[in-house]
Amino acid sequence: MTVVREEKPVIIRYIFRFDDGTQKIFEAILDSQTLHARIKSELPPPDWAQMDRSQCRGCPLDPAIHQYCPVAVNIAEIVSAFHGVISVTMADIIVEMDERTVSKRTAVQNGLSSLIGVYMVASGCPIMEKLKPMVRFHLPFATPKETIYRAMTMHLGAQYFRMKRGLTPDWNLQQLYQLYEKVKNVNIGFAERLQKAAKQDALRNSICKLDVFATFLQMGSLKTVDSLEYLFTPYLDF
């Protein structure tokens, strides 16, 4: 069977339109194959992006080799733009992708949470990169239940491809819970890093919102996922 590969980059554009008529636009350009973010900025990374500043617990990157946190480098421009913005500031947030455009009037922290979530996965963090399938099919403003569904289906899809290659699959989702324990550590570490970089709370709260999803997936483990079983009733009758 011939595998059809995408060639053009995946572009996710976030537009924040404020009530005073100003707007901020950020465009995440991801390589079609690796889903790694292509960063245009040629400015030197800020001091708060140095790896030894609040390095996340469990981070496998060696500061002696990696001077800067790759995620911090990639969101430096976003931090600069929003460092003085209060989290509950309302804005019309438009997210443009090839497949669709999504818009919502909501607090800035909710848009930032989705935008920063893209870069946390697509910047070369060894822990977060396992969430790349979710970035490819990005869902802005996702609810906790939507996130649980997407994480579960992503993980089970990965196990199918592992099985096809003769690798041991994890159908019981234990590795998914272990992954989200590591994701939670990244969220905590990155919130501490942004504490030093941002004047106001919009950026820090955006990470806290991401951490809520990680915590929600951990709480109750299988019980949390099993709450979705009713959706699959048609598959359970034969």
Confidence of residue 220 (pLDDT cuts 50, 70, 90): very low
**Reported pTM:** 0.87
Phi, psi for 209 (deg, rounded to 5): -65, -40
Write out pLDDT tens, residues 42-59.
778 889 899 988 899 899
The strand pairing partners of 104, in sequence order, are 93
* Nearest CA among 228, 71, 233 for reference residue 144: 228
Grouping H, G, I as helix, E, B as strand and the rest as coil, residue 38 is coil
Residue type, 22: T
Write out pLDDT tens, residues 149-208.
999 999 999 999 999 999 999 999 999 989 988 988 888 888 888 877 766 566 666 666
Give the separation between CA 96 and CA 67, rounded to whole angstroms.
33
* Nearest CA among 127, 112, 120, 106 for reference residue 72: 120
